[in-house]
Structure formats: C-alpha cells, structure tokens
Amino acid sequence: MLKLICAIIARDLRLAMRRRSDLVSALFFFIIVVSLFPLGVGPEPELLRKLAPGVLWVAALLATMLSLPRLFADDHRDGTLEQLALAPQPLGLIVLGKVLAHWLISGLPLALLAPLLGLQFDLPTDALLMLSVSLLIGTPALSGIGAIGAALTLGVRGGGVLLSLLVLPLYIPVLIFGAGAVDATLTGLGAQAHLSLLGALTLAGVFFAPWPTAAALRIALE
C-alpha cells in the first residue's frame, strides 16, 4: 500500500519536473499577488503587519487553485486515469498519492517561500516562522479538498473557473485557522489551538477527501 503511494508520488513528481515552468509560474503568481497589496493599501508598516497573515494565506489559496485543474487532466487525456481506475488497487489510495504529490509541488514551495514575502510586510521573526509552520500544516488540506473539485470538473467546459467556485468556499475553515495562527502569534496569544485545528482539518482533508474524489473520477470516466 505504501509502495503504491510512493510509486504514484514519484511518478507525478517526475512528470511535474518535466513541466517546471508551471511550477515556477504558480510561485511567481503567489509573489506578485502578495506584492500587489502594499501597492493597493499603502506602505504603512502597522497596517501591513495587520494585513499580512490574511493576504499571504489568501494568496496561497489562489496559487494552489492554479495547479489544481492539471491534477487529473493530463492523466485523463492520455488514458492513464482509465487504467488506474481499472487497477486492482483502490482508486482512493492512488488519489491519495496524487494529492501528496500535488502538495509537494504546490504547498511545500509556498510554505518555504512565504517567510521571504512576509519580510515585505515587516513581520517579526516568530510570526514568519509561524507563517511557514501554518502553511506546512494547512496546505495539504488544500490539496486534498481541491482534488474533489478537480475530479468533479474533469473535462467540463469552463473547468478552471468552476473549480475555484466549488473549492474556495470549502477552503474557508483552513484560511480561518491558518491566518488565525499567524495573527495569534502577532498579537502575542498562543497559536496552539489554531494549529491543532488546522492539523485536524489536514488529516480529514488528506485521508477522507480521496474517497469522494475517487467516486467523482469514476463518474467522470463513465
């Protein structure tokens, strides 16, 4: 079982490496969106510190959305998905592997890049660290929940916009606890409760979401 998941992850990472430009584009999207906010609201450090957790987290949600439509689309186009669905292994496990791979190429880079952007917002060190930690804990849930939307809109016209319409409302709890954790660190309150709840969301998102995703994929393949 673990071997299957690892094989899927390795395969998806290999494919992603062939399309490095997509990965870099999503990261630059993240950087640009975050950098637009000071230009929009003004450069006062007080205000920027207050906005930073929300801005960085919302930008992370949007950057995650960019790579979601591709999650199953390529495999669907070349028929791999059909073969995976026919494989004796449960489709949910295969989806789990793809979700983890998606996190490695979208969520993880965002979490590592975010502290650098936090500097633009004059965040103190402990908040920068918390930003990274909350993104590390929270972004797997984004990949998991996003996979449901990606499977539902597979091969549907206007898929990309539709996908954000379906998935963004479901991201709200992750946003609340993720940005809340950074905010709590900024204001000197502990972020322990936020992180625990974020962790619970991620566990639920990563381990339960693959099953409706698998069901949605089977419907799309019918």
Partner 1 sequence: MPGTSINWYRFASPQAFYPLAGRMIPWFWALAAVFGVAGLYLGFLVAPTDAQQGEGYRIIFLHVPASWMSMFIYLVMAFWAGLGLAFNFRLSAMMATALAPTGALFAFLSLWTGALWGKPMWGTWWVWDARLTSELILLFLYVGFIALQSAIDDPRRADKAGAILALVGVVNIPIIYFSVKWWNTLHQGSSVSLTKSPSMATTMLWGMLLCALACWMYAIAVALMRVRMIVLERERQTEWVREVLRGGESA
Which residues form the interface with partner 1 (CB under 8 A)? 148, 152-153, 156-159, 162, 165-166, 168-170, 172-173, 176-177, 180, 197, 201, 212, 215-216, 219-220, 222
150 and 71 Cβ atoms separated by less than 8 Å: yes
DSSP tag of 106: I
What crossing angle do the helices spanning 108-120 and 125-152 adopt, rounded to 10°?
140
Residue 16 CB, shortest distance to partner 1, in Å, is: 26
Nearer to partner 1, 3 or 157 (CB): 157
Q: Which of 30/171 has CB closer to partner 1?
A: 171
Residue closer to partner 1, measured from CB, 95 or 117: 95
Q: Toward partner 1, which CB reaches closer, 54 or 129? A: 54
Contacting residues for 172 by C-beta, under 8 A, at least 6 apart: none
State the minimum distance, in angstroms, from the CB of residue 178 to partner 1: 11
Distance CA 84, CA 209 (A): 18
Minimum CB–partner distance for residue 15 and partner 1 (Å):
26
- Contact between 163 and 210 (Cβ < 8 Å): no
